[in-house]
A and B are shown apart, each in its own frame.
Chain A
Amino acid sequence: MRDALFGTLLARVCCGFLGVVVLAAALGPWLSPWEFDAVDWDAIDTAPSLAHWFGTDGVGRDLLTRTLSGAQISIAIALAATVVSCCIGIPWGATAGYLGGRTDQAMMRIVDGLYALPFILLVILLVALFGRNIVLLFAALGAVSWLDLARIVRGQTLAVKSEAYLEAARGLGAPTFTVIRRHVVPNVLGPALVYATLTVPGVIIAESFLSFLGLGVQEPQTSWGVLIADGAREMHSSPWQLVFPAVMLTLTLFAFNVLGDRLRDAVDVH
């Protein structure tokens, strides 16, 4: 695992980059001399300068602060959604794998069916109909991204199913769901969490799509999707407004994907 994260130069750079992004997202808006929604009347729509490293947007808000504040929200939503998807996917997969037989078939058939569905439609339906708030956003995104996790956990559960400690737990008369909760889940948690990290970039993309369409995070709060949508509108006259958030999003996704691939190879569950 350590080798996967720090084995090559590229992996080390990606780790470092993600670390910097997370740290900057956590501390940046707080350290910056500007507020994310404060207007600098002397610098409206200005190119990058010493005062505003990433320039300012159309109403004079500091783009660096907004990019970091957007990072905060994009990453927070992604992590929260991932937690939600773990809460559904891990119990689902462990139950299906452990019980086996008809229950397993039915549960995995549901997962297969959901795979074929354009889930983003339901998320859009939910956020559009029930208001655009952040809690609903990550709950909905989490509720639709647990499918891979359920498959992986089921596979892992099948692998540990015949282990002696499970037999011992059953022999001592532990109820089925206690066995799943206390003995199956902890033993499949490692690979499951690795896979959970792989859902993070997916959720970041989904959130940025929704925000881009105006269905996600709302003004004055911001996320990478909102910033890219704003930047795309102004790109002819002020390309920096598009370039900085776009580069941040791309590099973050790239780093997540590189590390995700290496982690997947290290755990090697397919």
Chain B
Amino acid sequence: MGRYLLRRLTFALITLFAVVTVAFFLARAAPGGPFDGERRLPPEVEANLRAAYDLDKPVVHQYARYLGMLARADLGPSFRHKDFSVNELIGRGLPISVTVGGLALALAVVVGVTAGTFAAMARDRARDRLLVTAATLGLALPPIIVAPLLVLVFAVGLGWFPAGGYDTARSYVLPVIALSLPYAAAFTRLSRGSVAEVLGRAHVLTARAKGMPTWRIVRRHVLPSALIPVVSFLGPAAAALLAGSMVIEEVFSLPGLGRYFVQGALNRDYTLVTGTVIVYAALVLTFNLLADLCYARLDPRIRHA
């Protein structure tokens, strides 16, 4: 277990380093610079700015300097938001994005596993077919469709929830639902398959034969092993959730990490873009490590390896 985790941790760090490198050099290789605006700066001013930000030094020098800053957890000043460092911008956006993303993932797992278990227990009956069709439809409803529709119906039409903002708990309801829907569908399909497989195993048959109540069989004998594929899908799901969260933040005007990233990418704000990519990658990799931990707890073959 210890060695397993150590290997995973090393691997995550190497991946993170690769991400840092790729993001840094991509941003530097791009045409156009942070000082290309509507109004050109006087060349002398631009030269001074370039010197101040070390942009006149060779790229390798900039890279080394950047790595040094990263080691001190400093992502540098923003190239566009003049009064803010990237750390400050990310510090503002991160809590919002993590709240929405985390709640959406949790909702997706709870709804998905519950629905998947019910479907598997009613295999090939009407209830199962209904749930499977609903899940297939859910996969086809990305946030770019669901989010505007939810706003139209529940914010503009019925007025139950605010259409944007982030000050009350109510304002998180629609974004979380819109973001979680396709993943709830994916988890439903995944857990339906794995629960159905475990239900057919001998130890479940034994438990049933000795008269154990159904819900207890499911909780004690089915779910622990049926959840393994669900847990291993958590990492990729979290990575995929990011794209959706950018859309959600746009639609509900949440000033999260995704908006800074998209804005930074459009404005060629090198440090902001690289910074957000690194934070995103670090988040996803940490989450993957946690998922691996759960995985190791659930699967004795890994725990004792």
Q: Known contacts A125-B27, A208-B142, A231-B148: does B19 contact A215 (CB below 8 Å)? A: no
Q: Known contacts A125-B265, A213-B246, A254-B140: does B152 contact A235 (CB below 8 Å)? A: yes
Asked if A225 is an interface residue, CB under 8 A from chain B, the answer is: yes
Mark interface residues in B89-108 (1 if CB within 8 Å of A CB, else 0).
00000000000000000000
Cβ–Cβ contact B247 & A258, under 8 A = no
Mark interface residues in B141-181 (1 if CB within 8 Å of A CB, else 0).
11011011101100010000000000000000000000000
Asked if A242 is an interface residue, CB under 8 A from chain B, the answer is: yes
Cβ–Cβ contact A246 & B281, under 8 A = no
Cβ–Cβ contact B235 & A116, under 8 A = yes
A115, A215, A254, A261, most chain B CB atoms within 10 A: A254
Asked if A86 is an interface residue, CB under 8 A from chain B, the answer is: no
CA distance A169 to B84 in the complex (A): 64
CA distance A206 to B244 in the complex (A): 9
Cβ–Cβ contact B242 & A128, under 8 A = no
Asked if A146 is an interface residue, CB under 8 A from chain B, the answer is: no
Asked if A121 is an interface residue, CB under 8 A from chain B, the answer is: yes
Cβ–Cβ contact B243 & A120, under 8 A = yes
Q: Known contacts A213-B262, A239-B152, A261-B136: does B26 contact A129 (CB below 8 Å)? A: yes
Asked if A214 is an interface residue, CB under 8 A from chain B, the answer is: yes
Binding site for A on B (CB under 8 A): 11-12, 14-15, 18-19, 22-23, 26-27, 29-31, 136-137, 139-142, 144-145, 147-149, 151-152, 156, 235-236, 239-240, 242-244, 246-247, 250-251, 261-262, 265-266, 268, 273, 276-277, 280-281, 284-285, 288
Cβ–Cβ contact A117 & B140, under 8 A = no
CA distance A236 to B157 in the complex (A): 9
B189 to chain A, nearest CB (A): 9
B231 to chain A, nearest CB (A): 14
Cβ–Cβ contact B235 & A124, under 8 A = no
Asked if A253 is an interface residue, CB under 8 A from chain B, the answer is: yes
A116: chain B residues at CB < 8 Å are 12, 15, 235-236, 239, 284-285, 288
Asked if A126 is an interface residue, CB under 8 A from chain B, the answer is: yes
CA distance A120 to B239 in the complex (A): 9
A225: chain B residues at CB < 8 Å are 144
Binding site for B on A (CB under 8 A): 109, 113, 115-122, 124-126, 128-131, 201, 205-206, 208-209, 212-215, 225, 228-229, 231-232, 235-236, 239, 242, 246, 249-254, 257-258, 261
A41 to chain B, nearest CB (A): 28
Cβ–Cβ contact A125 & B136, under 8 A = no
Cβ–Cβ contact B262 & A215, under 8 A = yes
CA distance A215 to B259 in the complex (A): 12
**Quick one: closest B residue to A128, CB to CB?**
B265
A239: chain B residues at CB < 8 Å are 152
Cβ–Cβ contact B148 & A249, under 8 A = no
B128 to chain A, nearest CB (A): 14
Q: Known contacts A209-B144, A246-B145, A250-B145: does B30 contact A117 (CB below 8 Å)? A: no
Residue among A214, A228, A235, A250 making CB contact with B140, cutoff 8 Å: A250
A261: chain B residues at CB < 8 Å are 136
A199 to chain B, nearest CB (A): 14
Cβ–Cβ contact B243 & A206, under 8 A = yes
Cβ–Cβ contact A232 & B265, under 8 A = no
B135 to chain A, nearest CB (A): 9
- Please, could you name 18 A-B residue pairs with CB atoms under 8 Å apart, sorted by A? A115-B235, A116-B236, A118-B239, A118-B242, A120-B240, A121-B281, A124-B265, A125-B265, A126-B26, A128-B273, A129-B27, A129-B273, A130-B31, A208-B142, A239-B152, A242-B149, A249-B145, A253-B139
